[in-house]
Structure formats: C-alpha cells, structure tokens
Amino acid sequence: MAKVNQLNNATFQDEAKAREWLETQLWPEGQTCGHCGTLGEATALSTRPGWYQCNACRKQFSVTVGTLFERSHIPLNKWLMAAFLICASKKGMSTHQMHRMIGVSYKSTWFMMHRIREAMNQGTFPSGLGGKNKVVEIDETYVGGKAKNRKNKIPPKAAMLALVERDGSVRSFRVPNVSATTLRPIIVSHVNRATYIMTDDAPVYTAIGREFSGHGSANHAAEEYVRAQFWHTNTVENYFSIFKRGIIGTYHHVSETHLHRYGAEFDFRHNHRVGLGYSDRERTTIMLQGIVGKRLTYRRLDERPNR
C-alpha cells in the first residue's frame, strides 16, 4: 500500500484550513486573547475571517497574536509546511531548498527558519537531565572550517557543549571557551546532581565530576573509546556526528551569532526522534506549541540588538 504524501494535506495547501488546525492546537479550550490572556470571552469578526474581538480588553486578535507568527504577511499554510519540513529533516534543510519548495523569497525563508528554530528552543528541563541510576554524557566540539581552507586570517572556531542523557534528551550550548569556569555553571544547572556523568579525559571535568553521584571517563588520549560497554561517550559523539553532518553537508556555513539556534534545532529533533515514538507530524505539532509567548523581529545588520 502506497504511503500518503503528507505535503498534500489541506493544512499545507489552504490558509483557512491551516488557521483552523492551528486554533485547535493552541486553543484547545476556546479562543484565548493574545493581549490579555482572557479565555472564552471573544466575538468573531464577520468582516475578518479568523479574527476575534476580546470582550475584556476590547482588542482584536487572531491565533497568531502573541506568537512567533504575529504580524507575518506570509500565508499561515506556508509557515506550517516549513515547520513540517524542518522537523522531518534529520540533518536540517537549507534555506535555498526550503524557499524553492514553499515558494517564498530566500530572504523571507531565512527569517522564517530562524523563527522556527526559536520555537524549537525548549529551555531548561524542570528536573534537569538524568537522575538516580541514569547517565549523562558530556562533551564539547568545535564548529568552523579547516585551517588549510583559509587563505588569510584564520578565525577561531566556535565551541559547543552538549549534555546527552542515555536513551533520553539532549541540551547543547554555545560556549565562549572550554574551561571549568565556563562549563561548571551550565552543567550543574542542567544536570540532576543524582546523575552519573560520563566524559572524556579532559581535565576540565575532574572537579565538576565530584559534585555528582559519580563520574566516569574514557581515556581518548590513550585511544580508549569504550570500556566494559559502560564507560564511553559514544552517545554524545553520535549526536555531534549528526550535528556536524547538518552543518557541513546541509548548511555549509552558519554564523556564530546564530549557532545556538542551530543547536536548538538539532536538540529538538533528537529529543523527539522516531526512536522515542514520535512521528514527523507529532514532532511538528509539539514544535508549534513553542511559538506561543515568543517574538523574534527582523533587525538590519547595522542596527544594535535589543537587550
């Protein structure tokens, strides 16, 4: 039996259907005002399909108000299709490929994809990664071109730290440097203290490991990569392998300014992978919950960031 092409779904083809579907996902209990948060106190506007007037604050709103999609002139079905494609692509999808597939300009598609990555950012897990009788692997990698490919000045590579729970979730971070002073605050705030942490033989982890229930390491300097099938960092290395394949093979070049968003993208897909029982559509639905309460506005390169 032939599989159904999910891109032919009416949600991705018709803007009204897309809006109705998003309303069912973001408003399961009824219309919620994006301005004041009032639930079920709105009147539909007959002259503006999909728009409502809040009876509490008297302001007009739609399902996109108060989300990353607010004030966007791009049709909502295009947004949902882009979200589905990026969630379904294990190693990501380039902006050029995306803009050709959804029929939106390259510049707008680039901005859309960064908004989607922002929605994928899950923040801090309430109880932290790991826990009693669980293992979290910790490692760092560097992102940047090879020195032999640089003609003149060779800029330093960007460092990334990843915390991967075995058979669980991952959190990655862009870090300014790889030192105990920099890594400790991140590790102790995102990993449960009852966790057994696993690292390589880098000395930056020695003191940090004493703050957890246990600390094991694999001596990579002596070409030891696994010992007794337990002491290894292969899980986090596998995560970095997919991340690097996406950066090198799909995106080719990423700005250090946006590196944390690319990390959030790969984190999200790992945390909702097929191995944990998530389908592409379920992954997309969960991602779209992350658009609420966030804004990412366009800023020219010569403008100062809002801080």
Q: What is the pTM of this model?
A: 0.91
pLDDT at 150: 67
pLDDT of residue 305: 52
At residue 208's C-alpha, the angle toward residues 276 and 120, to 5°, is 35
Does residue 273 lie within any of the structural domains?
no
Give residue 296's pLDDT. 74
**Which residues on adjacent β-strands are paired with residue 43?**
53
What is the Cα–Cα distance from 44 to 50, expressed in whole angstroms? 8
* Structure tokens that stand for 274 in this block: 């097929």
pLDDT tens by residue, 96-122:
999 999 999 999 999 999 999 999 998
For residue 302, being part of any structural domain is answered with: no
Q: Looking at this protein, which amino acid is placed at residue 202?
A: A
Q: Are 61 and 35 in contact (CB under 8 A)?
A: yes
Q: Are residues 66 and 141 in the same domain?
A: no
* Paired strand residues for 39: 32
What pLDDT is attached to residue 299? 64
Residue 139: inside a domain, yes or no? yes
The answer on 139 and 249 residing in a single domain is yes
Q: Are residues 88 and 180 in the same domain?
A: no
From 67, 86, 120, the end of a domain falls on 120
Which residues of the chain, if any, have pLDDT below 50? Answer: 301, 307
* Residue 147 and residue 250 in one domain: yes
Distance CA 81, CA 65 (A): 19
DSSP character string of 176-241: S--SHHHHHHHHHHHB-TTPEEEEES-GGGHHHHTTSSEEEEE-GGGT--EETTTEE-HHHHHHHH
Do residue 82 and residue 177 come from a single domain?
A: no
- Give the length of the chain: 307
- Residue 74's Cα: distance from chain center in Å? 22
Cα 83 to Cα 18, 90, 242, 282, 290: the distances in Å are 12, 13, 20, 12, 12
Tell me, yes or no, whether 223 and 143 share the same domain: yes
User: How many CB atoms are closer than 10 A to CB 59?
Assistant: 13
Residue 301 confidence (pLDDT): 45
Domain co-membership, 35 together with 86: yes
Residues 148 and 231 in one domain: yes
- In this structure, are strands 196-200 and 214-218 parallel, antiparallel, or unpaired? parallel
Question: DSSP of 178-190, one letter per residue?
Answer: -SHHHHHHHHHHH
If asked whether residues 87 and 142 sit together in one domain, one would say no
pLDDT score at 96 = 96
307 in a structural domain = no
The pLDDT assigned to 220 comes to 83
Range of the domain at 177: 135-254
For 266, phi then psi, to 5°, come to -70, -35
What pLDDT is recorded for position 265?
97
Residue 303 lies in a domain: no
pLDDT digits (tens, 9 = 90+) for 109-162: 999 999 999 999 988 787 889 999 999 999 999 998 776 766 677 778 899 999
Distance CA 65, CA 292 (A): 9
CATH number, position 174: 3.30.420.10
Q: How many domains does the chain have?
A: 2
Residues 53 and 158 in one domain: no
The amino acid at residue 216 is G
